[in-house]
Structure 1
Amino acid sequence: MDLDYVKNAVDSVVREVSKAVIGYDLEVRLLFGCLLVGGHVLVEGFPGLAKTSLAKAFARTLGLSFSRVQFTPDLLPSDITGSLIFNPRVGDFEVRLGPIFANIVLADEINRAPPKVQSALLEAMQEGQVTIAGKPHELPKPFMVIATQNPIELEGTYPLPEAQLDRFTIRILMNYPSYDDEVLIVKDTRLGRVDLVNKVVDSQDILDAMKLVDKVRMDESIARYIVSIVRATRSHPKVRLGASPRAAQMLGKLARAWALLDGRDYVIPDDVKQLAPYVLNHRIIVTNDDPLRVINEILEKTPTPMMAKALGMGYSNE
């Protein structure tokens, strides 16, 4: 597998997903990038924005297994992870695996389930395995959770604490489609039909691409640029809680994957600039302001490394 193959693969995935869901090409690329770094995604958006169809279509193009869990107040941890079930035919207990055992898991309205259930899911995200009746069971690879939240319905919800939000690699704020896209949604009856989406890569391709991410080069000045951005969130006057070192680590990993999706084996400053709002917007708490506005202000004020050599190696500050 080479760089061109990965770039062509993600382009093919974007085209296929657009057969069912249009207007979210960037979001598909973000999902792909997170999958390559073993990350997880929090999606926030109003009802009717095709969040479920997007996740289903994405999994289908990759030939990955998919499961959807509707989070409700009466959900139990075992409803997600699985449990021991008595089988009268054999006269013994057997393990029944829960819906968490899929490559792509859609945790719909994650903030509607009680904290104990949220913790069970987040533990699986962190460890890559779940424990059933005292025995660990490894989750399939690749594995990614796409969790959704409705930003307007707060009654009867259990907001995720900051420590748990930090486990999500990025948060995507889904907006309404453009006027032209919405007209197309009305006209084209095929949109929304995930069954029309074809598989264009397979799980082994994804696993091979994940290995390539670690080989993407990052100059020290880019690493310093990332750390400067993250540390600036801790000293900004409008930020009550800044981003953690994990945020810097995630931004670095995702920047490598982003370069790979663009057919490069080196990270450039624009990779960091484009991804920082998605990586940081749920990791900071601001006072009387919009987190994205604060992040963009930090990006504007932080000196950007300038490319000095052709292959992206060797940078100097502006």
Structure 2
Amino acid sequence: MYRRDRSVQLGGSSSALYNNLSVLRLPQRQLACFCAVHGPAVNVLSAATDGLGGSQRQLRPPPAAPAAAAAAVTQAAWCVLPARVLLVLTSQKGVQMYESDGSVMVYWHALDVTEQPPGTSSGTVLVFDIPHKGTNVTVSEVLEEHRHAITDIAAELGQAPEGAGDLVTADDAGALCIWSSGEEFTLLNKIPALGCTCSSVKLWNGVVAAGYGNGQIRLYEAATGILRAEINAHARWIYALDLAPLTGKLLSGAEDSFVHVWKLSRNPDTDDVEIEHCHAECVTDTQICGARFCDPEGCSFAVTGYDLSEIFRYSQV
């Protein structure tokens, strides 16, 4: 069971975007950092574990030209790499990478605004080489397997079983591509489109968890692409999934105002993937657009909603 904690106030409301919440935990400072997109800006804030104190800033990607209008931000998330943490923003004009606190822009990758449709809405996935420090970021590879706009990307660093793949990409038609990283990315499996958008994907222990516009969550084997489970999880469009890597807890949030916590596991005798429902929380009159665990065990989570100027937080009783 989870209970409602003190909420965190945002400098602006949250836009109706998939996965519109990112959380970065700073246990050594007893802080959690949150970011959510609002139109052409990203609200970045930190708060203590009790919801008090902290700081807040707003990031706005620079326009492509001095007189150009600000581009709408489409996603913002912290990317935790082995040697550094970057805050990455995507917009209609390009990709911006900042230091983790948003204080310094490390890299700007402009997209061709004359392209129709623009940028990665064409289905391409850009792979960047990131140095341990500094600004010498380069595009090392472009993956061109998808035929529709990319909706989400998930990785499993150092935890994927051998042969299972460690990256999954999803698109607006519902197709999934499972990749193996290395010197170059190798496509292992492609799961066909289902006729509805796959809005969010996660990887855990060789299992792909995918949330769809019809309210379903589907679990696939990352090594083979075989469907292991299908759950009618929500009454409306799923906007966000998250996984707690240490416990296999799965968090889902949707337009129906509900957040659910599930538990994934493997049967040691049959190696089947099993899912158990653990908790349901109704966030009244809220179209949920972001949901994230605040710790790797899944003992607490945070939620954002469309046109909501605060982040709701919950912790395990």
TM-score, length basis structure 1: 0.26
Structure with the bigger percentage of helix: 1
Question: Which structure's CA Rg is the greater one?
Answer: 1
Comparing both chains, which one has the higher relative contact order based on Cα–Cα distances under 8 Å and sequence gaps of 6 or more?
Answer: 1
